Structure 1
Amino acid sequence: MEKSNVETLYEWIDETTNKIQQYVNEPYLESLGYTMEIVFMQEVPDNIDESLAIKLQQALVELKIDSFSAEEVRKANQLAILKGMKGSTQQQHLMTPETVSLMIAYLANKLFDDAENIRLFDPAGGTGNLITAVLSQLPQIKEAFASEVDSTLIQLAVWNANLQKKNIEFFHQDSLRPFLLDPVDLIVADLPVGYYPDDLRASDFKLKADKGHSYAHHLFIEQSLNYTKPGGYLILVIPEFLFDSDQSDKLQQFIHDYAHMVGILRLPESAFKSDKHRKSILILQKKGQQTASPKQPLLVKMPSFNNTRAMGDILGQINNWFQTYKKELNSNE
């Protein structure tokens, strides 16, 4: 069978990363960052071992990166990142599944299909796969921003965006600290789950815990709303237990006060390794002068992404729901 462009490019990236890893004695993900940099710069840095530099120069000659589309580059990079993450024990070194990223892009398209000059922000940017997936599907996005505290992940995200020719401004910082950023039209994020260790910073949030550490995923929702324009939208990957855990009463009241619950999509069990890792997609609209809650929120239990017929039925129902929702929005204006 003839290899796809994605497979061809992934194999080149993987082989080159393995060559680098043998010399620099660093984890695969760090070595992958060097590979992406070399591909983007189209030259081997001067400070690299001479015998490795010769091998990398030969490999570069074989690769014609401009013959690959941005989407092929994104998918090949994603496969390499996933390989690196398999060997990682760090919780934050996990990637939003491809099917989930594409579902978020689809929902964003439904919300903004008739809008122009959209500004987008991902406050939990990771390796940039989610934000670049959304950018691929929404050409009307004119400005994009992402934040990530982990130095390895943000380095991969920057090279990932550069190789796809996606214009994204990155913030290398704790995303629960203030940003030099005006509020945006759309926020997408795969929320980090767990406790936030900085109790002093957490004390500035309405969703801080009454005792002990606060939940990072709660604070991320509040922070995201802070950087959303009135009437803007948030599409968030949330843990399935979000509204059933302790402190959830406080969270639900906060959302009720500052946002409209537009919808929740329960993702299929098959998309996750175990029940405790199961996620849903939460859609919120920040309250504004002419906003209102939908008469009937979008509540969906997604079938397996591999079940083509069931997915077709569900997407048909979602399309119908959005048509009704858009009519409601127009009547409110």
Structure 2
Amino acid sequence: MSFDIEKAFSDLDQLTSTIEETENEPYLESLIFALRAIQTEETLDLPDKKTADSLAALKESLYSDDTTSESIRKVIQLALIKGMKGSTQHQHVVTPDSVAMFMGYFIQKLMPETKQLRLFDPASGAANLLTAVINQVEADVTGYGSEIDPTLIQLAVESANLQEVEVEYFHQDSLTPLLLEPVDAIVADLPVGYYPNDEQAAKFELNADEGHAYAHHLFIEQSMMYTKEAGYLLFVIPNFLFTSDQSDKLQKYLHNNAHILALLQLPLSMFSSEQHAKSILVLQKHGKDTKPPKQTLMAQLPSFKDVNKTHNILQKIDDWFKSEKRE
């Protein structure tokens, strides 16, 4: 019997919604309780048989031998998307699966021989992007995530536990010092906006000359600090990253510290408006044997629903890797 993601989501949603009503908690907080309930033997005081059946069905299906970490992540992701639709908080958004797929694909192509990989997301949120990439990469991955939001980090912990994915989390402002040795690769959907802590921002090269620094600039610099020499960094960036004010300083910083390998513009259809559109930026930190690409890979990614165009773009990326001999 194959795993039914929609049925499992329906059961998880039923359980979460009941906790939301009975405990008078928001949906995302209730989801934390629901994920914990699946993993423990503690009996929940559930008000009706339907919810009790949902919990029993979840325990049976999520712990079945043919259930993968990736299927479990997808079920949790559907609940996250539902919960975040009702959220007023700007950081409560889920990175689309198609983006995670491209990032995982790129890491696999950049590091095909790597058997063990340390991967860090400094803006991990509920860790949907981080665990999606971990599930995709064919290596033994140890993940690290940093997140300041208490609800999101609790969701991340429960999600990783249920998926049986190895992730260590830091509950802190990701732009303060981390107890983390440099990693092989970084993935992040960069938080966009101003960073309010001017005192901390002053410690960064990419601090603003006046006013608040941009958080998305500081995240790039912080990520570079926690990446090994010759390591890789993959960011979801706003399309205006290289044209907004303070971008001259950023470009100079990148020129001095990294090689820009690729810039892949995400389909506009994914975003509510053109000013919210984003791209994937792929960097390699300078190392003693690294060199810039003969040609930076620039591409406009098609709608991922268009199978032919997606196949063509993957072929273009494959050709680029062959010409660069980076595989």
**Please, what TM-score do these two structures have when normalized by structure 1?**
0.93
Is the contact between residue 77 and residue 160 of structure 1 (CA under 8 Å) also seen in structure 2? yes
Could you tell me which amino acid in structure 2 is paired with residue 130 of structure 1?
A: L
* Residue matched to 2:180: 181
Q: Distance in 2 between matches of 1:192 and 1:14?
A: 28
Q: Secondary structure at the match of 1:245?
A: coil
After superposition, the C-alpha distances for 1:272-304 in whole angstroms (9 at most, x for unaligned) are 122121100000000011111001011111111
Q: Distance in 2 between matches of 1:242 and 1:44?
A: 50
After superposition, the C-alpha distances for 1:177-227 in whole angstroms (9 at most, x for unaligned) are 001111001000000000000000000000000011100000000000000
After superposition, the C-alpha distances for 1:78-130 in whole angstroms (9 at most, x for unaligned) are 00000000001111001101111111111111111111211110000011111
Is the contact between residue 40 and residue 163 of structure 1 (CA under 8 Å) also seen in structure 2? yes
- RMSD between aligned residues: 1.8
Q: Distance in 2 between matches of 1:51 and 1:15?
A: 11
Whether 1:113 and 2:145 are equivalent positions in the alignment is: no
Is the contact between residue 42 and residue 60 of structure 1 (CA under 8 Å) also seen in structure 2? no
Could you tell me which amino acid in structure 2 is paired with residue 313 of structure 1?
A: N
Q: Distance in 1 between matches of 2:220 and 2:168?
A: 21
Q: How far apart are residue 42 of structure 1 and its match? A: 4.0
In structure 2, relative to structure 1, the CA distance for the partners of 1:3 and 1:12 (3 Å cut) is farther
Could you tell me which amino acid in structure 2 is paired with residue 102 of structure 1?
A: M
Whether 1:143 and 2:142 are equivalent positions in the alignment is: yes
Gaps of 5+ in 2: none
Q: How far apart are residue 51 of structure 1 and its match? A: 5.0
* Residue matched to 1:199: 198
For 1:1-333, list aligned pairs within 5 A.
5-44=4-43, 50=45, 52=47, 57-63=52-58, 64=60, 65-67=62-64, 68-325=67-324, 327=325
Could you tell me which amino acid in structure 2 is paired with residue 91 of structure 1?
A: H
Q: Distance in 2 between matches of 1:215 and 1:278?
A: 18
Q: Distance in 2 between matches of 1:109 and 1:286?
A: 17
Could you tell me which amino acid in structure 1 is paired with residue 286 of structure 2?
A: K
- Aligned residues, how many? 323
Q: Distance in 2 between matches of 1:54 and 1:172?
A: 37
Q: How far apart are residue 138 of structure 1 and its match? A: 1.1
Q: Distance in 2 between matches of 1:53 and 1:219?
A: 49
Q: Distance in 2 between matches of 1:171 and 1:35?
A: 23
After superposition, the C-alpha distances for 1:40-72 in whole angstroms (9 at most, x for unaligned) are 224336xxxx45498765543333021232111
Q: Distance in 2 between matches of 1:262 and 1:61?
A: 48
After superposition, the C-alpha distances for 1:226-267 in whole angstroms (9 at most, x for unaligned) are 000000000000001000100000000000000011110000
After superposition, the C-alpha distances for 1:306-326 in whole angstroms (9 at most, x for unaligned) are 11111111110101101222x
Q: How far apart are residue 4 of structure 1 and its match? A: 6.2
Q: Distance in 1 between matches of 2:46 and 2:19?
A: 11
Is the contact between residue 184 and residue 228 of structure 2 (CA under 8 Å) also seen in structure 1? yes
Q: Distance in 1 between matches of 2:300 and 2:49?
A: 53
After superposition, the C-alpha distances for 1:116-167 in whole angstroms (9 at most, x for unaligned) are 2111100000111111111111131432101110001011111111111101
Is the contact between residue 127 and residue 154 of structure 1 (CA under 8 Å) also seen in structure 2? yes
Q: Distance in 1 between matches of 2:274 and 2:7?
A: 34
